[in-house]
């Protein structure tokens, strides 16, 4: 069935009536509670689930299960009541009395409609855990619906310490919650003043991603749980149109290395201004066909009823487990048709304005603080959702069975408590100084050595094509493309660990989702820019966790940008762009590590350093062509620890040549020789991690950047002239490394000036005004002017 309000078939009606007539407790539950109503189809499904639970021995009587389902109804109704208060009011009243004008906010804010839709879903997830006696993980792609999560968590007291202290389950605690929501409070130190946000954030108990960048949860969920783990992923029909690749999930899922996943589409049919594309295309009937064509098994449920979600989670997992058993017995082959719950609902169901565009935000006609008719509407609708304090506490007690079941609270579900580290990193044959060697090939060989040394970790390699062309042939031969049917003569496998699709967002999401394992992403530099939204969302969330003293402990993820600007001359200027690293240098440098290894040994050292850290994203811009190996093992390791290193420093030098990038380092060495021929003494410093030398923007970055003494040793302030030759745009570099800029009279910078085309490396240097002659002449002229000014 594709519409929740169409008549149930006659047989379903008969069965539901029979169960109500036969079991008084079932009939009482079937009446629902307030806005929570149980349709005949859900009643039949829930009765079947009750029988299954009785067969497991966990419950002895159907009444015990129904008591829990009664509690779910009350909890969902109370949470919807609280969500509406979070948008509009600055107090709650446990007596259920109508609120006066003074009880309302001056500026009501919230994503009310979507949050109301999420309440039955999240309550259903919680109660499914209660009934199963196990804690599943959860993920929500529509992060703006966080009010639903916070409301349910507060009512169940499933909270992190800072929220538990501030929001106890009483009238004062809930009043504080609604006052904090969209209070825009700020502390004296410039940080958020309350442990609450407009989207999922590290204060949100059990939250995994912010969900502000819509569509990435859809790309990540299938890669998240490990075998033995269970994940319920809440998705939205609005986000469905955001990112390509969500319909490939069944291509990637394997019982051998994936846990059980239950995707749940909250299908309310609307975005902010209009119907979603899905509904414009033909609604849920069209979506059913789309899912079936893409390897899913769609299951329609009533998105207004928590019991429908409970049944759906059990049904989805049972189907997927059965399919897994059939595959392992040799009776089925991949792809398994992944069960996919479609929870059809009405945007903003349960409150005034449901089903309208206004339901998205603040659905009342006017602000109830100032408008009597809107105030009356508020009080009328919340009265239908009200649950007395006694019944609420009883429901909370019935659902909180964690101690009895010896299971984790949902705030500590397995996916939000990853702690991954590598076994001792194996010895590796460092490249001989002076040898011509591809840095990407060195990284390739070392990565495979790390994989061999850590067989306990699930590996995901994100590859938007051309992995072998990017000199990662050993990785491809060892780990292989994950496919459904192998092609002869190609490095492919049903169980491959290389997630390949010509879609940067989808493949980086495979790595970002695999926080229980070890990851690597490789892309063309110019096209890695498409990954920035997914990466930035991870960086922000990890940084905020760190600020709260709960730094994430998943293994840091290296994202390699190669076939880069200065070696992509065979293609047009679309393939020549340094924006990837530049954009990430705008993020906080202690979490977003942007590095430019210049040779094979510095590439190896960076990869080692990345995998020795947790909760960071490392953006490595690496040459794939053979370049001269400049740094020894010791120098490469020192380069990583310091962020820069000086080659052959002279105390009497007048010019410091600062290189960022492999080809720029070679150029600076040539410039040094040119200057020497003109009687000018200079030395070369390689700057690999510019973010280490920026002006810190907060305390965490202060602890990360280079110390004053270390910076002075590497970049002496008394040098007559400093010349930067950079892989990236010079303006960006000077902005990031402002403390190294000696001013326009004593500092000049060269780099990418947005010129390019079908040119080789030397041609690109010339087009961008940073070839040997131009830089050397500019340095000499600047030095002459400096000397004249001193006379």
Radius of gyration of the chain (CA): 30
Query: What does the pLDDT look like over 65-96, one tens digit per residue?
Result: 999 999 999 999 999 999 999 999 999 999 99
pLDDT in tens, 634-647: 999 999 999 999 99
Predicted local confidence at residue 650, as pLDDT? 77
Could you give the C-alpha distances from 109 to 85, 120, 207, in angstroms and in order? 11, 21, 22
Give all strands of the β-sheet with 498-500 in edge-to-edge order.
492-493, 481-482, 498-500, 459-463, 518-524, 557-562, 617-621, 592-595
Q: What is the pLDDT of residues 226-274, one digit of tens each?
A: 999 999 999 988 777 777 789 999 999 999 999 999 999 999 875 556 5
| pLDDT tens column, 389-404 | 999 999 999 999 999 9
Mean pLDDT on 570-581: 88
Whether the per-residue pLDDT at 4 is higher than 60: the answer is no
What's the pLDDT score for residue 273?
A: 61
| Phi, psi (deg, nearest 5) at residue 524 | -60, 140
- Does residue 300 carry a pLDDT above 70? yes
Is the confidence at residue 7, as pLDDT, over 50? no
708 Cβ partners below 8 Å, 6+ apart?
Answer: none
Average pLDDT, the chain: 94
pLDDT score, position 5: 43
> C-alpha distances in angstroms, 229 versus 93, 188, 209, 255, 326?
40, 42, 18, 11, 19
Distances (CA, A) of 88 to 177, 193, 374, 521, 747: 12, 20, 11, 45, 56
Q: Distance between CA 711 and CA 740 in Å, rounded?
A: 9
Residue 298 has what pLDDT? 96
Q: Which residues lie below 8 Å from residue 371, measured CB to CB, with a gap of 6+? A: 364, 365
Whether residue 320 has pLDDT greater than 80: yes
Residue 284 pLDDT level (bands cut at 50, 70, 90): confident
Q: Are 354 and 276 in contact (CB under 8 A)?
A: no
Beta-strand runs (E) in 483-566: 492-493, 498-500, 518-524, 557-562
pLDDT tops 80 at residue 449 = yes
Q: What predicted TM-score, i.e. pTM, was given to this entire model?
A: 0.95
Structure confidence by residue, pLDDT tens digits, 149-179: 999 999 999 999 999 999 999 999 999 999 9
- Owner of token pair 């939205």: 236
Give yes or no for residue 495 having a pLDDT over 50.
Answer: yes
Report pLDDT digits (tens) over 352-389.
Answer: 999 988 898 999 999 999 999 999 999 999 999 999 99
**So what's the pLDDT on residue 271?**
56
Average pLDDT, stretch 697-706?
96
**Predicted local distance difference test score (pLDDT) of residue 575:** 86
Q: How far apart are CA 699 and CA 703, in angstroms?
A: 6
- When pLDDT is cut at 50, 70 and 90, the band that residue 6 belongs to is very low
How confident is residue 598, by pLDDT bands cut at 50, 70 and 90?
very high
Please say whether the beta carbons of 628 and 667 come within 8 A: no
The pair of three-digit structure tokens given for residue 191, joined into one six-digit string = 């940080």
- Percent above pLDDT 70 for the chain: 97
User: What is the distance between the alpha carbons of residues 217 and 248, in angstroms, rounded to a whole number?
Assistant: 13
* Model confidence at 562: pLDDT above 80: yes
| pLDDT at residue 491, as a whole number | 96
Using an 8 Å Cβ cutoff, are 111 and 214 in contact? no
């Amino acid at each position: 069935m594709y519409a929740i309000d169409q008549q149930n078939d006659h047989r379903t009606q008969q069965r539901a009536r029979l169960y109500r007539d036969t079991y008084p407790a079932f009939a009482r539950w079937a009446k629902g509670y307030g806005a929570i109503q149980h349709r005949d189809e859900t009643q039949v499904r829930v009765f079947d689930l009750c029988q299954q639970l009785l067969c497991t021995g966990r419950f002895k009587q159907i009444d015990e299960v129904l008591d829990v389902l009664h509690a779910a109804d009350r909890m969902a109704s109370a949470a919807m009541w609280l969500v509406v208060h979070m948008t509009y009011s600055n107090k709650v009243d446990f007596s259920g009395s109508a609120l006066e004008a003074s009880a309302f906010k001056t500026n009501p804010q919230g994503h009310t409609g979507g949050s109301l839709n999420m309440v039955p879903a999240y309550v259903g997830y919680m109660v499914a855990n209660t009934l199963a006696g196990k804690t599943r993980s959860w993920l929500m792609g529509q992060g703006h619906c966080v009010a639903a999560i916070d409301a349910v968590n507060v009512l169940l007291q499933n909270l992190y310490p800072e929220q538990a202290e501030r929001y106890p389950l009483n009238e004062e605690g809930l009043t504080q919650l609604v006052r904090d929501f969209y209070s825009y409070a700020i502390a004296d130190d410039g940080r958020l003043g309350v442990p609450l946000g407009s989207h999922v954030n590290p204060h949100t108990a059990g939250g995994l991603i912010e969900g502000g960048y819509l569509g990435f949860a859809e790309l990540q969920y299938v890669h998240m749980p490990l075998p033995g783990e269970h994940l319920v992923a809440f998705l939205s029909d609005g986000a469905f149109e955001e990112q390509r690749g969500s319909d490939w999930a069944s291509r990637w899922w394997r019982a051998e290395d994936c846990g059980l996943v239950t995707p749940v589409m909250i299908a309310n049919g609307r975005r902010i201004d209009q119907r979603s594309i899905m509904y414009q295309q033909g609604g849920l009937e069209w979506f059913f066909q789309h899912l079936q064509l893409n390897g899913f098994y769609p299951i329609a449920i009533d998105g207004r009823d928590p019991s429908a979600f409970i049944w759906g989670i059990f049904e989805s997992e049972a189907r997927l487990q059965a399919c897994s058993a059939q595959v392992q017995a040799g009776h089925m082959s991949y792809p398994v048709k992944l069960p996919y719950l479609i929870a059809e609902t009405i945007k903003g169901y349960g409150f005034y304005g449901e089903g309208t565009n206004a339901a998205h935000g603040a659905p009342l006609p006017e602000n109830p603080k100032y408008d009597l008719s809107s105030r009356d509407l508020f009080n009328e609708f919340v009265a239908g959702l009200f649950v007395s304090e006694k019944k609420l506490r009883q429901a909370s007690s019935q659902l909180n069975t964690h101690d009895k079941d010896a299971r984790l609270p949902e705030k500590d579900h397995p996916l939000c408590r990853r702690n991954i580290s590598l076994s001792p990193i194996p010895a590796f044959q460092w490249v001989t100084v002076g040898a011509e060697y591809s840095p990407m090939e060195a990284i390739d060989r070392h990565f495979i050595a790390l994989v061999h040394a850590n067989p306990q970790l699930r590996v995901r390699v994100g590859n938007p094509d051309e992995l072998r062309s990017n000199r990662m042939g050993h990785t491809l031969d060892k780990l292989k493309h994950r496919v459904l049917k192998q092609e002869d003569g190609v490095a492919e496998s049903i169980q491959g660990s290389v997630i390949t699709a010509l879609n940067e967002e989808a493949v980086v999401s495979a790595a970002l989702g695999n926080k229980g394992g070890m990851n690597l992403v490789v892309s063309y530099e110019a096209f890695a820019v498409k990954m920035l939204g997914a990466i930035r969302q991870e960086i922000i969330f990890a940084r905020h966790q760190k600020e709260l003293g709960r730094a994430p402990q998943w293994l840091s993820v290296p994202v390699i940008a190669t076939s880069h600007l200065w070696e992509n001359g065979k293609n047009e200027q679309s393939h020549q762009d340094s924006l990837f690293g530049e954009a990430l240098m705008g993020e906080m440098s202690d979490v977003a590590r942007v590095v430019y290894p210049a040779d094979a040994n510095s590439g190896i050292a960076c990869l080692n350093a990345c995998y020795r850290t947790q909760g960071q994203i490392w953006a490595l811009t690496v040459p794939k062509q053979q370049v001269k190996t400049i740094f020894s093992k010791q120098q490469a390791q020192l380069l990583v620890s310091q962020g820069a290193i000086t080659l052959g420093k002279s105390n009497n030098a007048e010019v410091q040549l600062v290189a960022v990038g492999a080809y720029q380092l070679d150029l600076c060495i040539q410039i040094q020789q040119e200057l020497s021929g003109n009687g000018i003494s200079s030395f070369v410093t390689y700057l690999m991690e510019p973010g280490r030398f920026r002006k810190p923007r907060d305390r965490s970055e202060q602890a990360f950047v280079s110390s004053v003494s270390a910076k002075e040793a590497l970049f002496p302030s008394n040098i007559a002239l400093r010349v930067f030759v950079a892989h990236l745009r010079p303006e960006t570099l000077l902005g990031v490394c402002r403390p190294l800029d000696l001013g326009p009279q004593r500092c000049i910078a060269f780099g990418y000036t947005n010129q390019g085309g079908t040119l080789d490396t030397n041609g690109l240097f010339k087009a961008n005004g940073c070839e040997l002659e131009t830089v050397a002449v500019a340095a000499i002229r600047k030095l002459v002017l400096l000397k004249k000014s001193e006379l």
